Amino acid sequence: MPPKTEAELARERARMVDEIEVEVRETRKWTGRDRLSPRVIAAMAKIPRHRFLAPADVAYAYLNRPWTIGFGQTISQPYIVALMTELLDLEPDGRVLEIGTGSGYQTAVLAEIAFRVYSIEAVETLAERARARLSELGYRTIQVRAGDGHEGWLELAPFDAVIVTAAAERAPPALVAQLGPGGRLVIPVGRPYESQTLVRAVKNDDGTLASENVLPVAFVPMVSKGNEPR
């Protein structure tokens, strides 16, 4: 099969965005959101998801489903990427911390909306690949480093938002501490490979979190640096 042209990929990307918007409406009873903001839609419509997959997987880039990227990790379903971004309620001057860079696709979506994106990836090879890919695509407001996401990025805190793209049994305390007052945290909570729930939390002025369960989800587990899959 000959490789797809950029025009064909663009049409597939547009269909993907249409499917995302339909799914957002269908899940509004859980999420409380019946539409995406124009900025999130624009980001999903713009970013070439096929650039974040292996060349052999380009044909599957615009299916509304997750896909493996090696090392036991995945690139998330586009609907989930869009929804998690929407739930962060990012402002153009916002600073966001991402835990779990993975392929860098979610990172790019965040960078289209927020002022600065700081991303941590436990798997060093994935961090290196994502950093190179994002640089090739022209992103200059993103910093990626290999490290333990449980620890956050203390020297750059506080953050307006924190997004975790892997499941944890609870929100890591360091991430909560590094979230500024009024900041938003979006994280899948649950035991590995068991029932998980996407949680959105807002940090109160007294440091506590006001949390709400959003949607049943399935994510790979959050891992510590040194314990990442090989």
Active site (catalytic) residues: 76
DSSP string, 84-124: HHHHT---TT-EEEEE--TTSHHHHHHHTTSSEEEEEESSH
How much helix, strand and coil, in percent to the nearest 5, is found in the chain? 35, 25, 35
CA distance 214 to 220: 18
Q: Are 209 and 185 in contact (CB under 8 A)?
A: yes
Q: Are 63 and 9 in contact (CB under 8 A)?
A: no
Q: Are 102 and 69 in contact (CB under 8 A)?
A: yes
Q: Are 209 and 200 in contact (CB under 8 A)?
A: no
